[in-house]
Amino acid sequence: MKKEETKTRLYKKNVHGRHTLEEFLRYTPEIEKCKFNPEKSEFSFNVDMFDIGFSYDMFSEKGKVSRFMINFVGEFLFRENIEKFAELMRDTESKKIIREMSSRSHKNFGLDLLGYKLLFSCHVSLLTEILTEDMKRLG
C-alpha cells in the first residue's frame, strides 16, 4: 500500500470516529436497568442505541465501534449517572465489596447488543476511582 493511501485510510477512520463522538454528544440519553452483580463485582446498565446516536450499521462491520469509543461512551454515561450507581452500593455487603474495589481495577467497559439496547458493564472499582477524583478536586 502506498503512503498516501495509508494516510487517506487513517484519515477516513478518524473522521468516522469524530462524527460518532459529535453525534453522541448531541444527545442526553436516559440509562435504564442499572444493576450491581455482587458475584462478578460488576455494574451494568442499558441505553437505547438510538438515544446516543448509534445505529445497527455501526455493529455490522467489525471494528467500526472502537474500544476507545465504547470506553468513552460507557464512562461518560456512568459519570453522568454516578448517583444511581452509588445508591446501588447501599444494600451490598461492604467487606466483600471493599476487598474487590481495592484488589482489582476497572480496565474496559464490556458491551453487548440486546436488540436496540446496548448493555454496558464495568468493574465496581470504577465507582471508587471517580469518587476519589471528585474528592481530590474538592479538597
Per-residue pLDDT tens over the stretch 80-123: 999 999 888 876 666 666 666 666 677 899 999 888 999 999 99
The residue among 116, 123, 97, 108 whose CA lies nearest residue 43 is: 123
pLDDT (0 to 100) of residue 98: 62
**Structural domain of residue 21, as residue ranges?**
3-138
Domain count, the chain: 1
Given a contact cutoff of 8 angstroms between Cβ atoms, the answer to whether 30 and 52 are in contact is no
Which residue has 453522541 as its cell numbers?
24
Look at the pTM and tell me if it is higher than 0.85.
Answer: no
48-68 pLDDT, tens digit per residue, is: 988 888 887 777 766 567 888
E-strand ranges in 1-138 read 32-37, 42-48, 110-114, 117-123
Is it the case that residue 29 has pLDDT exceeding 80? yes
